[in-house]
Amino acid sequence: YAPWCPACQQIELTWENFAKESEHLDITVGKVDVTQEPGLSGRFFVTTLPTIYHANDGVFRRYRGSRTLEDLQGYVLERKWEAVEPVAGWKSPSSIIMHGMAGLFHLSGWIRQIHSYLIGTLGVHVYVSYAIFILATLLIGLFLGL
């Protein structure tokens, strides 16, 4: 989820009630703010918000059902997750590809922090910051090419 997302805000109360009932369902319910954990959004290939996953014994399934408390509980209690196709092996959050994707998301967050530092703290003009990143990209490409 993301705090600014209207759909996430809409499901928030339902999700909190589902989390309260999780002890009776013998499951663990959690939520992750993708703005604080960009690597996880890369690892889980999050393209829409909110995204709900069911994980059991290292097998991940994306929940695409209704977002009501009753349907969420029914998905677990009635074991409806068994009828859902697991996430493909290469898309699995534990795969090497998704590990690399998480690294790219971390890198983009790091670049954004450097850009913010340059323009916010040092007072560098935005276009100068862009020029620095362009130059760095060219130099890294040249170095790797050699």
d(CA 66, CA 64): 7
d(CA 125, CA 136): 17
Task: Give the CA angle between residues 25, 27, 85 to the nearest 5°.
Answer: 105
Three-state SS string over 64-115 comes to CCCCCHHHHHHHHHCCHHHHCCCCCHHHCCCCHHHHHHHHHHHHHHHHHHHH
CB-CB neighbours of 18 under 10 Å: 23
Catalytic center residues: 5, 8
